Amino acid sequence: MGSPAAYYSLILAITLSITGAHEVTMAFALSSTAFKDGAAIPVKHTCDGADVSPPLAWSGAPPGTRTFALIADDPDAPAGTWVHWVLYNLPATVSDLPENVAKVETLDLGGARQGRTDFRRPGYGGPCPPPGPAHRYFFKLYALDALLNLKAGAQKKDVEAAMQGHVLGTTQLMGTYARQKR
């Protein structure tokens, strides 16, 4: 049958082939039980409802992830992109956010912090477009290899600057919302 070294090499090659065929790499993904990607955001999560943050969950974070940052914004706002949520230093051990995250600067989630939105306060501010066509709301989650050295209340631009060189992966969820004329 040949030398023992050849036999072990053959077994190793077969083993690697078999395990490689079954290896599944999970894609970094963000979802919500409140709405599907590309679908309408329920009124409950807007200024026309209770204005509470939607539940979010994610999986498949890249290896080496230490923290997450989340930015939600509306690029269709009349005056330019409107920032609805800034959250950072969310520990890598966290894989979801419940509905109605408190609108405070520091959360009881391993020191996670919320920045100031264009509503000039910390925490989630739901869709509130002028009446007319639907706007798109992008919830962007960033997997980072570092803790961001930012105080609570940082703005989107500060978080984006601090993330430079630390982003291991990104994923997003997009929802829409339109207000009717009253």
Is residue 14 domain-resident?
A: no
Q: What is the mean pLDDT of residues 4-32?
A: 56
Q: How far is CA 162 from CA 41, 50, 89, in A?
A: 30, 32, 11
CATH assignment of the domain containing 168: 3.90.280.10
CA dist 80 and 78 (Å) reads 6
Is residue 111 domain-resident?
A: yes
Is residue 97 domain-resident?
A: yes
22-39 residue pLDDT tens:
444 569 999 999 999 999
Q: What is the mean pLDDT of residues 120-132?
A: 96
Q: What is the mean pLDDT of residues 52-71?
A: 97
pLDDT of res. 43: 97
96-125 residue pLDDT tens:
999 999 999 999 888 899 999 999 999 999
Is residue 20 domain-resident?
A: no
Range of the domain at 52: 26-177
Q: Backbone dihedral region of 172: left (phi > 0), alpha (psi from -120 to 50 degrees) or beta?
A: beta
| Chain length of the chain | 182
Q: Please tell me the pTM assigned to this model.
A: 0.85
159-177 residue pLDDT tens:
999 999 999 999 999 999 9
pLDDT of res. 110: 86
Is residue 165 domain-resident?
A: yes
Is residue 12 domain-resident?
A: no
pLDDT of res. 76: 97
Q: What is the mean pLDDT of residues 53-60?
A: 98
Higher pLDDT, 134 or 17: 134
In DSSP notation, 66-108 reads: -EEEEEEEETT-TTS-EEEEEEEEEETT--EE-SS---SSB-T
Is residue 50 domain-resident?
A: yes
Domain count, the chain: 1
